Amino acid sequence: NAGVTQTPKFRVLKTGQSMTLLCAQDMNHEYMYWYRQDPGMGLRLIHYSVGEGTTAKGEVPDGYNVSRLKKQNFLLGLESAAPSQTSVYFCASSLAGGRNEQFFGPGTRLTVL
Amino acid sequence: QQQVKQSPQSLIVQKGGISIINCAYENTAFDYFPWYQQFPGKGPALLIAIRPDVSEKKEGRFTISFNKSAKQFSLHIMDSQPGDSATYFCAAYHSNYQLIWGAGTKLIIKP
């Protein structure tokens, strides 16, 4: 039981490049989330999904796109990376929404030059 | 309205002491308040949570105190240990939103 895994762990991009972050969970959770974590700003929700095939915008969705084609996977895409997207990205999942515990992956450290 | 304000930003406590982290909110519709603990290089993990109909919840050395009238809640770590050194996040939930997170407190326990 791996829980929530994220690929890759580290990545350096140049401005304008694109990339996809992959999140996978093996707990059969319905809800999945993408957060970014920046110093002094806590966790900010980028996008989330309440089930396979559904996605919704969070607090800071601009510059990101997501897809949830399979229940166990949640992809975060950056179409044209900007230095402001330098951050640590965390994926999380929960059995259901709201008051259910969120289980986090180990994070992806992304640097955009 | 949707913010959760967390203080202090960082905290240094001697081993065996009490660590106290405070959070405040404005939206009275929030009805679930979890605390998450994050070790360096790891994702956050749920530590303890409380609902507003309870004034205090204790799990081992960790206690949440909740003051509904003041719209404040706090995490107390008794007999703090070096292994408690981590970043702690408070959060609040309302059914119209997802979890709203505080900015985090970096706790260092000095041996």
Contact B44 A4 (CB under 8 A): no
Q: Which of B100, B38, B91, B64 is nearest to A104 (CA)?
A: B38
Question: Do residues A76 and A62 make contact, with C-beta atoms less than 8 angstroms apart?
Answer: no
Contact B32 A98 (CB under 8 A): yes
Q: Which residues of A touch B (CB under 8 A)?
A: 4, 33, 40-45, 48, 58, 90, 92, 97-99, 101-107
Over residues A2-25, the mean pLDDT reads 96
Question: Do residues A102 and A58 make contact, with C-beta atoms less than 8 angstroms apart?
Answer: no
What is the rounded distance in angstroms from the CA atom of residue A105 to the CA atom of residue B97? 22
Give the closest of A43, A98, A103 to B89, CB-based.
Answer: A43
Q: Positive or negative, the Cα torsion across B9, B87, A24, A56?
A: negative
Which residues of B, range 48-87, sit inside 8 Å of A by Cβ?
A: 49
Chain A hits for B33, Cβ within 8 Å: none
pLDDT tens for residues B47-72? Answer: 999 998 999 999 999 999 999 999 99
Over residues B84-94, the mean pLDDT reads 95
Give the closest of A41, A48, A90 to B43, CB-based.
Answer: A90
pLDDT tens for residues A20-60? Answer: 999 999 999 999 999 999 988 889 999 999 999 999 999 99
Give the closest of B43, B46, B89 to A42, CB-based.
Answer: B89
Q: Positive or negative, the Cα torsion across B33, B35, A31, A64?
A: positive
As given in the structure block, the two tokens for residue A98 are 């709201």
- A2 confidence band (pLDDT: 50, 70, 90): confident
pLDDT tens for residues B6-60? Answer: 999 999 999 999 999 999 999 888 999 999 999 999 999 999 999 989 999 999 9
Q: How far is A55 from chain B (nearest CA, A)?
A: 13
